[in-house]
Amino acid sequence: MAVPGTLKYSFIWILPLISAFTWLGMLLAMLIVWELEGHPHYASMSPNQHIAYISDIGAQGLKPLFIAGCVVTTVFLDLSFASERWLRHTGRLAKNLGTAEKILSGLSMVFAVAGTAGLILLSIFDTLHHPKLHDGFLLLFIAGYVVSAIFICAEYQRLGIHFREHFILRFSFWAKLTFIIIEVILAIVFAATSFNKEQNVAGVFEWIVALFFTFYVLTFFIDLLPAARSNQVHTNFERMYMREAENGTAMMDGAGYTNGTANDTANGTNGNAYAIGATGHEGMGIGQHKPPTAQNF
């Protein structure tokens, strides 16, 4: 007999990995192509510019790769955002206990969508044909995800007050806060050098900003991983229950048990297990165990 819900949460943690490695793979492919072509000077580059911006390479023959990479990266990152929110709502991850936490989570998703729009649009409106639009969408991309990360940090800080035992919440909070601080500093240096026409220095910092974004995406792998661990606990419970039901070993004569180790009365519960009779009422019958949730992790 099939075990219900076995794969429901098992692969959610893969979403940020797809996003991160798509982004990293796209950047490395563009950099390698530019290197193999002998550092060509593209039409969108300044006369004294020797380091190509990502956008310079993306405006040429690799534009389809640039657009596809940006779309896949942001779509799977937004799916990671939505999955994290849903898992907290359902209790597979530590739940948002207050209205403020839910508002912060919602705002983080709104600004993430803004960042998504910025990245996709800047890849479409390239720097060669639409320089002003491209720069505007670049600003929207960076600002959207940085502000989104700020709201997530605020949410996790409040969650940490209620769930002090959860190491992952603290680790993810500090990882995202580190991203915010370093990314803002790098973005300021990039903007300042670009404004002062130091295009080669600005080009180097643009690549660093983009590559460091991979680190931020990977923090959501840390956030979602406990849901897969929780799913394994539930899966083991479901298999045990179905095996008992099929073999008839779940029938108990006046006694229940908790997680297979402790006895309880057939008419009572201890918060972890109780006996259900054939008619659906509490009493003698099949042992019903209550599996732990991800809030235990």
Q: Which of 188, 238, 162, 203 is nearest to 52 (CA)?
A: 203
- Within 8 A by CB and 6+ apart from 198, the residues are none
In the chain, beta strands by DSSP E: 255-258, 262-265, 273-276, 286-289
Q: Does residue 101 register a pLDDT over 50?
A: yes
Question: Tokens 């940006």 belong to which residue?
Answer: 70
pLDDT at 93: 76
Q: Does residue 252 register a pLDDT over 70?
A: no
pLDDT at 248: 52
pLDDT at 289: 43
In tens, the pLDDT along 223-236 reads: 888 877 654 444 44
As given in the structure block, the two tokens for residue 158 are: 């409040």
In tens, the pLDDT along 259-285 reads: 444 444 334 444 443 333 333 333 333
* Sign, CA torsion 35/39/40/45: positive
pLDDT at 173: 85
- Within 8 A by CB and 6+ apart from 119, the residues are 70, 73, 74, 137, 141
pLDDT at 287: 40
